[in-house]
Amino acid sequence: MKKILLLSTVLLMIATVGYSTIYTIGNSGTTFSPVTITIHVGDTIVFMLSSTYNAIEVSKDTYDASGNTTNGGFSVPHGGGQVSFRKTGIFYYVCEAHAAIGMKGSITVTAASGI
């Protein structure tokens, strides 16, 4: 009986934790690929970029103006890195050195769906 109770508890914990997914954003020349992506809270983006490209989070206004002033959000170094998302929203990002020529993208984070 104790084994069944323990097994049930473990299975319940696994079901309530949920699952996260890892997505990849790369670059093709001076374009992020994909340019836009929709993920869920708890998911992770792995940026796999060429060594001369980075990604910094910017405001919508900065994004629209193809600027490169960070809003203090995530920052991925040249060559890439990863970012996990813990809240919903639209996150805009640019390549710091190439924003003026349109190297930018957005990540839409939605609430995690139920199991």
What does each C-alpha distance from 100 to 29, 43, 95, 108, 112 come to in angstroms? 14, 29, 9, 22, 34
62 falls in which pLDDT band (50, 70, 90)? very high
pLDDT digits (tens, 9 = 90+) for 25-48: 999 999 999 999 999 999 999 999
d(CA 89, CA 19): 19
Q: Give the residue-averaged pLDDT of 78-84.
A: 97
Residue type, 91: F
2 falls in which pLDDT band (50, 70, 90)? low
Q: Name residues whose C-beta falls within 8 Å of residue 33's C-beta, 6 or more positions apart in sequence.
A: 25, 26, 27
104 falls in which pLDDT band (50, 70, 90)? very high
This prediction has a pTM of 0.82
Domains and CATH numbers, the chain: 19-110 (2.60.40.420)
